[in-house]
Amino acid sequence: MLEGTVVFSKSGRDKSKALVVLFSESEYVFLADGKKRPIARPKKKKIKHVQPTNFQINLQPECGRMLQDADVRKMLKEYCEGGKNNGKRRCN
């Protein structure tokens, strides 16, 4: 699974939550949402327990600075509110 992909959790406490893939190892992905799961403490989840979307987040912010939790929250909020296409998406 590609880094920066927005996914939805299919199982567990975070079921139906929007998360971002930070990186992957074999059958696992490491996810963050910027709130309960900050970048410094990503959630390890099996790939079969997440539903990928077609939306990608750029994990390399402008100005050459490090990615921060606020960046992830902002991008997930933009995705959940429909972004530029004004479509409604269900995000918790």
Which pair of structure tokens corresponds to residue 62?
């402008």
Among 38, 49, 55, 47, CA closest to 13: 49
Among 17, 36, 20, 29, CA closest to 72: 20
Mean pLDDT of 58-78: 87
Give pLDDT, residue 82: 77
Is 18 part of a structural domain of the chain? yes
Q: What's the burial of 84, exposed, middle or buried (CB within 10 Å: 0-12/13-18/19+)?
A: exposed
Which pair of structure tokens corresponds to residue 40?
């410094």
Mean pLDDT of 54-82: 87
Is 69 part of a structural domain of the chain? yes
Residue 74 belongs to domain spanning = 5-85
Looking at residue 45, its amino acid is K
- How do residues 17-52 score in pLDDT, each as one tens digit? 999 999 999 999 999 999 999 999 999 999 999 999
What's 18's domain CATH number? Answer: 2.30.30.30
Count of the separate structural domains present in the chain: 1
CA distances from 50 to 38, 60, 70, 88 (A): 18, 23, 23, 20
Task: Provide the whole-model pTM.
Answer: 0.86
Is 92 part of a structural domain of the chain? no
